[in-house]
Structure 1
């Protein structure tokens, strides 16, 4: 605008100068006008963007249809309370309340619950009739629409959520049971086959056969009790703590391990161990076996494979240390190894270590990965050495 004013002014000056015979002044004014006009033509400074065109009616309709499609994807029924009138917002709400927009006969208590439940809070309401009554959790929020506030409510089917949680818990229970039963039966079957093979010798070593059969009997009985507890309570039972002779307990573990993995060297260090443990023998066997099995599977086909179980007595607690000479656990996986169903094995279920930690914590102790490097992976578990009140 400033340049236009200057051009106009120089034009006027030039015209007056020409009428009065001041041709030099007129020529100078014309040159100034041409120069300013040329500057305007070659100006390359960025221009402010033009305002976007106003949305047309068809554009607004398309946006509304897109928004409605997004809302219809929500599985939770969405409703709106506007001036005391209840409206359905998405397909799930239309199906639940049997309305296309305005709900003529809202379920009893729904309008009051929407009005009284502040945003950020939840309420519970029952919706249905006859024998089909379902419980819903109501969550609300406020939106400013067309200059006034509208209360929006989302209805979450509590019954459906509970059924889904029960189904997930049942699947987890079945997987845990199958995992532990199969893993416990494998060494038992192997030890039984060894005992049969020893009986086929011309001069069988009967004491060794007896030891093998007695170990099989104890472990089978232990597995039976463990399975019965799961079946009766549908969860890991509270440990039945008793006084356990450490020597016999470790001897059974060693016999099971060396029978299952004869090519892996299994050693125990009991120099600082207590004479007795206070624990549930069945659960503690399952927990230690899960860690030892993971170590053995990591050592598969490796030369000089070794697994060591060290038990030490400390003030107020007993510590179990399990080390192996395997390749180690990748750093990216170390934070997840105790997460249920996390596994890097092709046929793994990911419940062994999760169950082992749960058992240790059920004894008021804990189980964790101390460190893992190539050639040395170390797990540490603790349980109290005295009975808690």
Structure 2
């Protein structure tokens, strides 16, 4: 829209606005009158600004091509020097050049890098454009490389950005070691607590005037099985620094359930109750006995800790189609939606004394067996239901 047409349009609007203001004043609509006058003042200001711009002289600063190129070059250099990542270029003669201030500081070179670190030139040359790789600098320093060609044909050399990852790698290694130690300490303490209780129970039975030899023998045999399982479990973690692959073997379900019931009753002598239902389960289960015991025990302990001393816990084992399902149900307070979404996150816990490892480890064990662990039901004041499922036929 040209200047004359816009001026005519705004002038017309100004006339109509003035007429509207007079009409509103005559009819007694004073608020409408004020509004119309404000619009008229606004339009007048626009017309005044348009007239000023139309009559103001225009100054054009002409630059020579060399001056424009120099200005653009200085701007680009300033941008490059702001980058904290060292930038280098590799030319067709396989010479390495420092591009920005960070690169010049890193390689102690003003322009050409006379003695680049071993492997850096080869890594830049061998990495495809748009890809990243890592390289060890002098002294074992680790860096990630992001590579791009300086032209579309790849004949004009390459530019690479060096990103320091040494500090990040050290942090990741420290976190992994910390997590491993927490898993180990958590599982060892979980296993040792009922074993210690069973040991005291067996000792007390033997101190009776008429000792119950059968009960003491059962307690000692359970201690021996669980101690042996804990030893193998800890040794596997020590050797592999990860959850070992499950050693699948037939498990006699009656003995497996009996051990869990005895450990539960010994661990919590007053308060929580455990009911076991396995009449719809096979007599033999194919799984790693030590890992499965650790997973189910973690679920039982989680149910008691979440529900408190008055909670009732049910362990239900059944075969559905070709899957074996172990369900742990409690009648405790349940979980809110916020906690439900995060319950399997490693080291997430709502209890000050909790470690947040048990459920994560139980899910890892289930998935290592080709199954999964899910929270299938929880409602406030109506408890929770966890289901561990894995194939029944292998």
TM-score (norm 2): 0.71
| Inter-partner Cα distance in structure 2 for 1:315 and 1:269 | 18
Name which of 321, 326, 332 aligns with 1:326: 332
**Residues 231-268 of structure 1: CA deviation (Å, up to 9, x unaligned):** 12222111111111101100100111121123111001
**In structure 2, what is the equivalent of residue 349 of structure 1?**
355
**In structure 2, what is the equivalent of residue 257 of structure 1?**
264
Mind listing any 5+ residue stretches in structure 2 that lack a counterpart? Answer: 9-39, 54-60, 62-74
Whether contact under 8 Å (1:139, 1:154) holds in the other structure is yes
Whether contact under 8 Å (1:120, 1:139) holds in the other structure is yes
Whether contact under 8 Å (2:97, 2:113) holds in the other structure is yes
Counterparts of 1:1-389 in structure 2, within 5 Å, are 43-45=44-46, 71-72=83-84, 77-79=86-88, 86-89=97-100, 91=102, 93-99=103-109, 103-107=113-117, 110=120, 114=124, 119-128=129-138, 132=139, 134=141, 136-140=143-147, 152-156=159-163, 163-262=170-269, 263-301=271-309, 303=310, 305-374=311-380, 375-387=382-394
Equivalences, count:
331
Deviation for aligned residue 1:71: 3.4
The change in CA–CA distance for 1:109 and 1:255 in structure 2 (over 3 A counts) is closer
Whether contact under 8 Å (1:88, 1:100) holds in the other structure is no
| Inter-partner Cα distance in structure 2 for 1:341 and 1:270 | 31
Secondary structure, counterpart of 2:279 in structure 1: coil
Q: 261-270 vs 150-159, which deviates more?
A: 150-159
Q: 153-162 vs 194-203, which deviates more?
A: 153-162
The change in CA–CA distance for 1:326 and 1:95 in structure 2 (over 3 A counts) is farther
Whether contact under 8 Å (1:322, 1:378) holds in the other structure is yes
The change in CA–CA distance for 1:296 and 1:124 in structure 2 (over 3 A counts) is closer
Whether contact under 8 Å (1:342, 1:350) holds in the other structure is yes
| Inter-partner Cα distance in structure 1 for 2:251 and 2:119 | 60
Whether contact under 8 Å (1:322, 1:379) holds in the other structure is yes
| Inter-partner Cα distance in structure 2 for 1:41 and 1:251 | 89
The change in CA–CA distance for 1:66 and 1:325 in structure 2 (over 3 A counts) is farther
Deviation for aligned residue 1:110: 4.5
Whether contact under 8 Å (2:98, 2:104) holds in the other structure is no
TM-score (norm 1): 0.72
Deviation for aligned residue 1:370: 0.7
Whether contact under 8 Å (2:277, 2:315) holds in the other structure is yes
Whether contact under 8 Å (1:88, 1:102) holds in the other structure is no
**Residues 49-85 of structure 1: CA deviation (Å, up to 9, x unaligned):** x9xxx9xxxxxxxx9999789634xxx5444569977
The change in CA–CA distance for 1:203 and 1:372 in structure 2 (over 3 A counts) is same
| Inter-partner Cα distance in structure 1 for 2:374 and 2:43 | 74
Mind listing any 5+ residue stretches in structure 1 that lack a counterpart? Answer: 7-38, 55-62
Deviation for aligned residue 1:134: 4.9
| Inter-partner Cα distance in structure 2 for 1:106 and 1:370 | 58
| Inter-partner Cα distance in structure 1 for 2:288 and 2:358 | 18
Q: Which has the higher helix share?
A: 2
Q: Which has the larger radius of gyration?
A: 1
Aligned-residue CA RMSD (Å): 3.7
**Residues 306-342 of structure 1: CA deviation (Å, up to 9, x unaligned):** 0000000122221101110111122112222222222
| Inter-partner Cα distance in structure 2 for 1:285 and 1:82 | 62
Q: 206-215 vs 157-166, which deviates more?
A: 157-166
